[in-house]
Structure 1
Amino acid sequence: MPETVPDPFAERAPALSVVVHGRNVQDHLPALLDSLDAHPLTGVEVIVAAVGDWAREVAERHAPAFTVLPLPDGAGDAAARSAGAARARGRWLHFVHAKDGVPVGAPPAVAAHTGTLPDTVDVLLLDHVRSSWRASGLPSPDGPRLARAGRADLALDDRAALLRLTPLLGSRVLRAGFWRAHERLLTTEDEPFAAYAALLLADRVACLPHPAYEDRRLRHESLPPPTPAQRYALVDRYEALLGLAAGRTAVHGVLYDLMVRDCLHTFARAGMPDDVAREFFHRASVTARRHRPEGLRHPAGLEGVRRSLLEEGAYGKYRALQSANHARRGVRSAVRTGRHRAGTRLRTLQYRGALARPVDPHLAVFSAYWNRGVACNPAAIAAKLAELAPSVHPVWVVTAAGAALLPPGTDHVVPGTRRYWEVLARAKYLVNNVNFPDAVVKRPGAVHLQTHHGTPLKRMGLDQLPYPAAAHGLDFQALLERVDKWDYSVSANSHSTRMWQRAYPSRHISLDHGYPRNDVYYTAGPAEVRAARARLGIAPGRRAVLYAPTHRDYEAGWTPRLDLAALADRLGEDTVLLVRAHYFYDGAASPSAPLAGLRRTGRLVDVSSYEPVEELCLAADALVTDYSSIMFDYANLDRPIVVHADDWETYRTTRGVYFDLMAEAPGPVARSQAELTEILTTDAWHDARAAKARTAFRRRFCEYDDGHAAERVVRRVFLGEDERTLPPVLPIEDRTPAPSPEEARAS
């Protein structure tokens, strides 16, 4: 026979192929890939089966170090796993879901351990840690079981208790040949089934009692509610698994116990409608009777009664038992907490009475910036609503102090009044750019529209948890309960969509329609620009620079980070500074005496209380800001933006940010007042380099803003039109922003 020539490709084959698969769920994929890419991966290859554009874009940042397999947006997890496995060269496969994680150093350690295993082992079982929005890196209950099993390879029938390990496919590493032999059965959307089936099909298994996987538990409230078919699939899962275990007494007994436990838990906790619950109970009962092991003895006490009733199919008796237990717990709870909890007193008798009346389909409640007045996205939506759906009556929630500043004829309520609670109780539509109070009840048939008030650079929602300065005083559980009331969340760009899903995980639908407040940047003409400047007293031909810094969590108050008098002096008499403090701070932005002369001559205008801010943007030739979200809105105008970032490192460390503004700024960056002055007194603020940076920034962050956002939102939410029939978002090259002040003066 001819001599066998070694295959050099096979010699270079990695020990382990890590197959990352799935959509970029709530933006967890970037952290997973970054962690994998941050440390040496000796003996390991990484294949990313990226489902959809977002996952592909994230994965391609790590090419060519990682192999990227782009898959269409509708591809399921099973198809993604199969696609990744088909490209894998490793002798072992580790499937990692895009929402999950891998502890530092785990892949090389797993790869090294597989080299010590005999060829008879098909599955290596790993320990894992658990993470949620509340905490990360919590130990799993699997560690002690794995430790008791030891590191020697063994047959499942000799250690059937291993079936009690958490059914995570990510905590099983599969021999590539074993996967290919059973791929048809293991390729399923039901990952727990695949995790159990891998153990049942393996000739021998081995254990590594060290955490090598991170199971990230997504909020139940952020996931689509299970359909009846998905509920029944739990019973079908165990029916199939018990079939695989036929004739294996010990394995069958453990699986049966797991089946009964899971079915009873789902039945008790899932909150299924009665018809679905009845059918689920019936199917579980049939399976329980069919597969009941001979001589099985139920545990003593209430648990034994529950199991007996399930096997009997006694649905009515089981419900009666539940009702009795609930009543007993209710009595105990009442004794502990008293007759009334203090929190319930927030709901007045009038509010409870109004909740008993029907929802008014022609009533909408609007609020902006904690009831400050008619402003921001809610104001733009209300204006378009009056045009497209005049039958819907808007009522604004405004503080008593702000009521005097409302436009004439604005119907409004003051918080805490009787009518305030009545309209909140009866309105079909509730629109806000922050959140309504915790006491507001989400009624069936009511629609809560969250418009937000900016594109996030700084961390928001749950992403504030690691930053004490930002998280101080926040009740995140209460925040999530408010978020769970959202039906729709408005977004101006795909970056915001991802960040809102990550920071506010709930079942809300993202409206990728653009920010309605930014429509004016495309609908305003020369007359509107000239009028905005005239109202501010800006003479024709003078350059207006809007200075709008943001709030800092680590500062108690607001003072300008610039010497405004010195800056104005260097910029000269032809430049007007429009100074706007963040809305968190009351009063004038610049009260010091040295600025009085500049105010008298019109070279500095305090616009901290000026509304709407969109008029300030229309009037300004350029924007100077630090980390404020105004930069994302102003970019729609395609006018110069200068970033003054004298404390970037401090801000980034204390507040947390989603991207590096210094690397992706919309224009020149100044790290000091001297640098800012140099930029504004030369051509650097509006030269070709600045324009190039602004173009890239606009393309990324003005993605959906085209002048028709309010129309899309009103048609989708208030008129119920299909998203496919809405006015499409115009490509950015086809949009015409409002004219610059210079263009408006010339027209």
Structure 2
Amino acid sequence: MPRFSVIVPAYQVQAYLHECLESVLSQSYPDLELIAVDDASPDACGDIIEEFAARDGRVRPVRLPENQGLGPARNAGMRHARGDYLVFLDGDDTLTPHALRTLADRLKETGEPDVLVYDYARTYWTGEAVRNQAAARLGERGPAPFRLADRPELLNLMMVAWNKTCRREFVRRRGLAFPPGFYEDTPWTYPVLMAAESIATLDRVCVHYRQRRRGSILGTASDRHFDVFDQYDRVFAFLDSDPALARWRPVLYRRMADHLTVVFTRRARLPRGSRAAFLRQVRAHLRRYRVPGAPAPLPVRLRHALLRLGLHRTYHCLRLASALARRAGRLTGRAPRAARSAALRLHYRVQRLLPVRADRALFAVDGGGGHGCNPGALERAFRDLAPHIRTAWATGRAHHHDVPPGPRRLSPGTAAYLTALARAKYLVHNGATDPLLVKRRGQVLVQTRAGTPLGHLGLDLQERPAAAGRTDFARLLREVDSWDWVLSANRHSTLTWERVFPGGYTTLECGQPRTDVFQRATAADVARLREVFGIPQGAVALLYAPAHRDWWRTQRPVLDLERVLRRLGPRFVVLARGVPDVRAAGRLLDVTGHPDLAALCLASDALVTDYSPLMFDYAGLDRPIVLHTEDLQAYEAARGTYVDLCSFPPGALARSEDELIGVFAGGQWRDSRATALRAAFRERFCPYDDGRAAERAVRRIVLGESEPLPVVPPAGRRPAPAAAARARPQLVTVPGPAGPRAVTDRH
């Protein structure tokens, strides 16, 4: 008995069926059967299915003698299904990589629920992928599994079968099936959710929903759109069959009214001569299933009342008037802002007519934060090595206090900022520059980037829609064309930048300027920083900095840090950075808002991360690094990695939370093997991080020196020592899950 029965009905989708079936059979979770149903398709769908069946024994072809439609074709597939769970996929859509493995993990995690609802992304013929706008309702916070009454907002998701997997035994026991006709998903989705005794959600894109330019059912004018009335009759009949479901009647009435409104107002769906008849049936259904007094916002009640009374012209007039009123309100509210924006743009154009000032430099970091990262290190080097150049830092007023004395503080969107943007010779940034920037002859744009690349970036994201988001690649390439210099920490970075950001710039391999402070700080600096953060004397401070999960719409904690600290004992302290919903208390410190990442690294004794590029910086500090790679496959599927962390890690690897606890309890976090791995990692990725990276960049770019500074080899460097390295070893007791268990470890 396979875990999943993937049911794919096929009718006139020969151009897409290969990709669809391949997306199923290439899943990293192989415990499946693929039931491909040829719905008497007049094209080559049947032959394609037979080819796949001959190639892979998991494919079970089903041929229907005559065309029956999407619903009956799915029913035919269910009759042949043997899997624990049913997964539906249309013949022109695809599963995302590792989708079934993720489903299996979530099903196991939530106790085998009747229904698991997951997310999708619309994919367009242009290659663009847009995630479902209602995906926030799929958040995984709170108890799971649950019942529909606990999360009624799930009824507002799109009514489709392919965004959920259902336990086959549950479907059989409740006698659930698809009806014939258009909109067959409606009387399937609502009964499935209302009848399920246990539901769970998965906040991940598992299906790519193809938006075809032509030929989709919903974009075809036909009288078959009248089937929507029969489908809602079936939904309300299901409600009437069980008095306990009466509570859902007002919700479904509103959903029906909204759905019928959409069908009626979309001109492409109904033939011209059918609109009056369709409206009459809308009125009849709204009167038949109306729930008097049901709570709803006033605009919704008004819209439904107008349709129920047949006043569709009044409805259209009010709709048009409302749209005009909203537009007028926006224009009225925008007028002062538009005038100010126009004045600033004019000011910028005038400033661009004036000469570029060779004694000015403007610095900023991605996100508009305070003084820091590589631009911050370069700004200090500008003042030390080229004091004739006046520096300015662009950031919002909320971060002005983070900028040290020396550079001028400028707020983006002000006249002074635009003056600097137009006339400063040197523009230094680590991410996307201001969209207003029109680079002039004589200006030098220095792109520092924000660390050594680990996850895919730039043009490599074209095949990674979850990670790319709404990246405008054409704009990205136009920006790359404005770069003059790109700083690189190592040969790996150089080769990556020049491939994913192709342009005419010059790459300068000089090291990571933001790590210079690691070589200059002293033991006294480390002690002072630990006191500032409130780290007890003698404690082992772990800096925990997880990477962003592109496939999660709502970020959530990856580790149970409170449990980790309980198991490790009282000597350990965790500095949590970028961890959502962390409850800072006692030995768990939330340092997400701290502006100086280098200070956090110096104050800590070891780094715990997963896929954060911070590991490359930290390796230069020569302190232990432990990787937690529990969901490495998912990260590689969503974003991809340039470095094989399993084959070439910077230290000990832990594939689960318990393994991570064991690494620290058993001492593997800083044993001889971890030290050797870190040394090899540091030699490869930190060849120039000897404390003079920013000086190299300024001497080459600003002072024009062609002779590079000598590099201190890793063996000759003396980075700031960790506090734990000076502490006296002692024993710790690590309580296990079944009671206290003494573990001897010299920390």
> Counterpart of 2:714 in structure 1: which amino acid?
I
Aligned equivalent of 1:363 = 360
* Residue 606 of structure 2 is aligned to residue 622 of structure 1: yes
Q: Unaligned stretches of 5+ in structure 2? A: 1-125, 128-340, 729-747
* Residue 499 of structure 2 is aligned to residue 502 of structure 1: yes
Aligned equivalent of 1:719 = 703
Aligned equivalent of 2:718 = 736
> Counterpart of 2:357 in structure 1: which amino acid?
D
Q: What is the CA distance between 1:501 and its match in structure 2?
A: 0.3
RMSD: 2.0
Q: 1:720 to 1:451 in 2, by over 3 A?
A: same
Aligned equivalent of 1:463 = 460
Aligned equivalent of 1:558 = 555
Q: Distance in 1 between matches of 2:391 and 2:446?
A: 14
Secondary structure of residue in 2 paired with 1:561 = coil
Aligned equivalent of 2:619 = 635
Q: 1:345 to 1:483 in 2, by over 3 A?
A: farther
Q: Distance in 1 between matches of 2:691 and 2:450?
A: 17
- Listed as ranges, the matches of 1:505-516 within 5 Å are 505-516=502-513
The answer to whether the Cα contact below 8 Å between 1:438 and 1:478 also exists between their aligned partners in 2 is: no
* Residue 423 of structure 2 is aligned to residue 441 of structure 1: no
Q: What is the CA distance between 1:400 and its match in structure 2?
A: 2.8
* Residue 522 of structure 2 is aligned to residue 540 of structure 1: no
Q: 1:562 to 1:355 in 2, by over 3 A?
A: same
List per-residue Cα deviations over 1:223-253 (Å, max 9, x = no partner).
Answer: xxxxxxxxxxxxxxxxxxxxxxxxxxxxxxx
Aligned equivalent of 1:394 = 391
- Which of 476, 485, 490 does residue 493 from structure 1 map onto? 490
The answer to whether the Cα contact below 8 Å between 1:526 and 1:744 also exists between their aligned partners in 2 is: no
Q: Distance in 2 between matches of 1:735 and 1:664?
A: 22
Q: Unaligned stretches of 5+ in structure 1? A: 1-133, 136-343, 582-588
Q: Distance in 1 between matches of 2:549 and 2:688?
A: 28
- Listed as ranges, the matches of 1:109-258 within 5 Å are none
- Which of 573, 576, 594 does residue 576 from structure 1 map onto? 573
Q: 1:709 to 1:398 in 2, by over 3 A?
A: same
Q: Distance in 2 between matches of 1:659 and 1:590?
A: 26
Q: Distance in 2 between matches of 1:577 and 1:649?
A: 26
Q: What is the CA distance between 1:370 and its match in structure 2?
A: 2.3
List per-residue Cα deviations over 1:567-592 (Å, max 9, x = no partner).
Answer: 110111111100000xxxxxxx4546
Q: What is the CA distance between 1:381 and its match in structure 2?
A: 0.8
List per-residue Cα deviations over 1:662-694 (Å, max 9, x = no partner).
Answer: 111111111110111111111111111111111
Q: Distance in 2 between matches of 1:540 and 1:376?
A: 28
Secondary structure of residue in 1 paired with 2:366 = coil
Q: Distance in 2 between matches of 1:405 and 1:382?
A: 14
The answer to whether the Cα contact below 8 Å between 1:361 and 1:427 also exists between their aligned partners in 2 is: yes
Q: What is the CA distance between 1:556 and its match in structure 2?
A: 1.8
Q: What is the CA distance between 1:366 and its match in structure 2?
A: 0.3
Q: Distance in 1 between matches of 2:580 and 2:491?
A: 37
Q: What is the CA distance between 1:410 and its match in structure 2?
A: 4.3
List per-residue Cα deviations over 1:583-625 (Å, max 9, x = no partner).
Answer: xxxxxx4546xx45xx1x3x11101011211111111111000
> Counterpart of 2:593 in structure 1: which amino acid?
S
Q: Distance in 2 between matches of 1:700 and 1:604?
A: 33
Secondary structure of residue in 2 paired with 1:425 = helix
Aligned equivalent of 2:690 = 706
Q: Distance in 2 between matches of 1:409 and 1:632?
A: 29
Q: 1:478 to 1:739 in 2, by over 3 A?
A: same
Q: What is the CA distance between 1:661 and its match in structure 2?
A: 1.2
Q: Distance in 2 between matches of 1:730 and 1:385?
A: 22
Secondary structure of residue in 2 paired with 1:348 = helix
Q: Distance in 2 between matches of 1:523 and 1:691?
A: 22
Q: Distance in 1 between matches of 2:595 and 2:687?
A: 25
Secondary structure of residue in 2 paired with 1:465 = helix
Q: Distance in 2 between matches of 1:743 and 1:682?
A: 17
> Counterpart of 1:626 in structure 2: which amino acid?
D
Aligned equivalent of 1:604 = 588
* Residue 669 of structure 2 is aligned to residue 685 of structure 1: yes
- Which of 645, 653, 657 does residue 629 from structure 2 map onto? 645
Q: What is the CA distance between 1:390 and its match in structure 2?
A: 1.1
* Residue 660 of structure 2 is aligned to residue 663 of structure 1: no
Q: 1:389 to 1:675 in 2, by over 3 A?
A: same
The answer to whether the Cα contact below 8 Å between 1:642 and 1:670 also exists between their aligned partners in 2 is: yes
Q: What is the CA distance between 1:408 and its match in structure 2?
A: 4.6
The answer to whether the Cα contact below 8 Å between 1:490 and 1:512 also exists between their aligned partners in 2 is: yes
The answer to whether the Cα contact below 8 Å between 1:357 and 1:426 also exists between their aligned partners in 2 is: yes
The answer to whether the Cα contact below 8 Å between 1:347 and 1:439 also exists between their aligned partners in 2 is: no
Q: Distance in 1 between matches of 2:701 and 2:428?
A: 11
Aligned equivalent of 1:476 = 473
List per-residue Cα deviations over 1:389-408 (Å, max 9, x = no partner).
Answer: 11111111101322244335
List per-residue Cα deviations over 1:708-738 (Å, max 9, x = no partner).
Answer: 101111111121211x2x3122222222222
* Residue 375 of structure 2 is aligned to residue 378 of structure 1: yes
Secondary structure of residue in 1 paired with 2:398 = helix
> Counterpart of 2:489 in structure 1: which amino acid?
A
List per-residue Cα deviations over 1:151-184 (Å, max 9, x = no partner).
Answer: xxxxxxxxxxxxxxxxxxxxxxxxxxxxxxxxxx
The answer to whether the Cα contact below 8 Å between 1:530 and 1:744 also exists between their aligned partners in 2 is: no
The answer to whether the Cα contact below 8 Å between 1:354 and 1:426 also exists between their aligned partners in 2 is: yes
Q: What is the CA distance between 1:435 and its match in structure 2?
A: 2.2
Secondary structure of residue in 2 paired with 1:624 = strand
Q: Distance in 2 between matches of 1:720 and 1:703?
A: 23
The answer to whether the Cα contact below 8 Å between 1:526 and 1:745 also exists between their aligned partners in 2 is: no
Q: Distance in 1 between matches of 2:713 and 2:401?
A: 41
Secondary structure of residue in 1 paired with 2:699 = helix
Q: Distance in 2 between matches of 1:728 and 1:590?
A: 43
Q: What is the CA distance between 1:742 and its match in structure 2?
A: 3.5
TM-score (ref. length: structure 2): 0.51
% identical equivalent positions: 45
Q: What is the CA distance between 1:743 and its match in structure 2?
A: 4.6
Q: Distance in 2 between matches of 1:471 and 1:376?
A: 23
> Counterpart of 2:711 in structure 1: which amino acid?
V
Aligned equivalent of 2:422 = 425
The answer to whether the Cα contact below 8 Å between 2:557 and 2:581 also exists between their aligned partners in 1 is: no
The answer to whether the Cα contact below 8 Å between 2:344 and 2:414 also exists between their aligned partners in 1 is: no
Q: What is the CA distance between 1:414 and its match in structure 2?
A: 1.1
> Counterpart of 2:483 in structure 1: which amino acid?
W
The answer to whether the Cα contact below 8 Å between 1:513 and 1:729 also exists between their aligned partners in 2 is: no
The answer to whether the Cα contact below 8 Å between 2:371 and 2:403 also exists between their aligned partners in 1 is: yes
Aligned equivalent of 1:352 = 349
Q: Distance in 1 between matches of 2:651 and 2:715?
A: 19
> Counterpart of 1:450 in structure 2: which amino acid?
Q
Q: Distance in 2 between matches of 1:728 and 1:509?
A: 20
Q: What is the CA distance between 1:537 and its match in structure 2?
A: 0.9
The answer to whether the Cα contact below 8 Å between 1:635 and 1:697 also exists between their aligned partners in 2 is: yes
Q: 1:744 to 1:711 in 2, by over 3 A?
A: farther
Q: Distance in 2 between matches of 1:402 and 1:557?
A: 26
> Counterpart of 2:609 in structure 1: which amino acid?
T
Secondary structure of residue in 1 paired with 2:374 = helix
Q: What is the CA distance between 1:656 and its match in structure 2?
A: 1.5
The answer to whether the Cα contact below 8 Å between 1:438 and 1:482 also exists between their aligned partners in 2 is: no
Secondary structure of residue in 1 paired with 2:428 = strand
Secondary structure of residue in 2 paired with 1:370 = helix
Q: Distance in 2 between matches of 1:743 and 1:627?
A: 26
Secondary structure of residue in 1 paired with 2:608 = strand
* Residue 597 of structure 2 is aligned to residue 613 of structure 1: yes
Q: Distance in 2 between matches of 1:493 and 1:510?
A: 11
